[in-house]
Structure 1
Amino acid sequence: MDKEMEQFESDLLESVRQMKAGKAARVTYVAVPPLVEVRNRAGFTQTQFAALLGVSVRTLQEWEQGRRQPSGAAKTLLRIAERHPEVLRELAESS
């Protein structure tokens, strides 16, 4: 067995021992990109949000992952979504 697998098994067993002993589990924090926070705060899935913005889901994913940047009208709509998510929710309801 390679060292990585041995370390994984060791870490897993230690975590189980800690849980059984009632000790707090490790906490992992994940940084969420700002655009994802805006979408989540507005309460939309990627598919819903992309449709509201008039872009493909793939384009939205690339924005969320930082591979591309929105421009023009999309940038303006994203600022509105950030400051006033209720406006997008109203827009979605009226569609």
Structure 2
Amino acid sequence: MDIEKIAKAIETDIGEALPELRQALAEAEAGIGRVTTPEQILLREARVKTGLSQKEFAQRINTPPSTLRDWEQGRFKPPGAVVCLMRLLMNHPELSNELASPV
């Protein structure tokens, strides 16, 4: 991994210097610290946007709360269909109400 190249690209993207970025990238490369995946961020943000707790959200998407926790904490990667649903809920959080209705 070219840490300097990646750091410059990130700083150019956001338009400002990030003094601790190189250290963070070096730690990530070394396996130090926690890595958060885009799927984890998407899941958490979608749930927060709906205003539901983990338990309530898990019920809405018909999955055990422990599975949702595992996805949010990065222990397991959610299936593609779940990621797709989260993208829909990010743009239309009100759709979570439709998931509460019996089929």
TM-score (ref. length: structure 2): 0.52
Cα separation, partners in 2 of 1:37 and 1:72, compared to 1, 3 Å: closer
Moved over 4 A (4+): none
Identity %: 41
TM-score (ref. length: structure 1): 0.56
In the alignment, the residues of structure 2 paired with residue 37 and residue 47 of structure 1 have an alpha-carbon distance, to the nearest angstrom, of 15
In the alignment, the residues of structure 2 paired with residue 69 and residue 91 of structure 1 have an alpha-carbon distance, to the nearest angstrom, of 22
The answer to whether the 8 Å contact 1:33/1:65 transfers is no
1:40 to 48, 72, 80: 48
Match of 1:28 in 2: none
| Unaligned 5+ runs, structure 2 | 1-35
Alpha-carbon RMSD across the aligned residues, in angstroms, is 2.3
Match of 1:24 in 2: none
Length, aligned pairs only: 64
What whole-Å deviation, never above 9, does each CA across 1:67-95 have from its counterpart, x for those lacking one?
Answer: 11111322221111111111113433x35
- Counterpart of 1:88, as a letter, is S
Match of 1:88 in 2: 96
What does 1:50-89 align with in structure 2 at a 5 Å threshold? 50-89=58-97
Q: Mark the structure with the bigger radius of gyration.
A: 1
The answer to whether the 8 Å contact 2:42/2:86 transfers is no
In the alignment, the residues of structure 2 paired with residue 72 and residue 37 of structure 1 have an alpha-carbon distance, to the nearest angstrom, of 17
The answer to whether the 8 Å contact 1:50/1:57 transfers is yes
In the alignment, the residues of structure 1 paired with residue 89 and residue 63 of structure 2 have an alpha-carbon distance, to the nearest angstrom, of 15
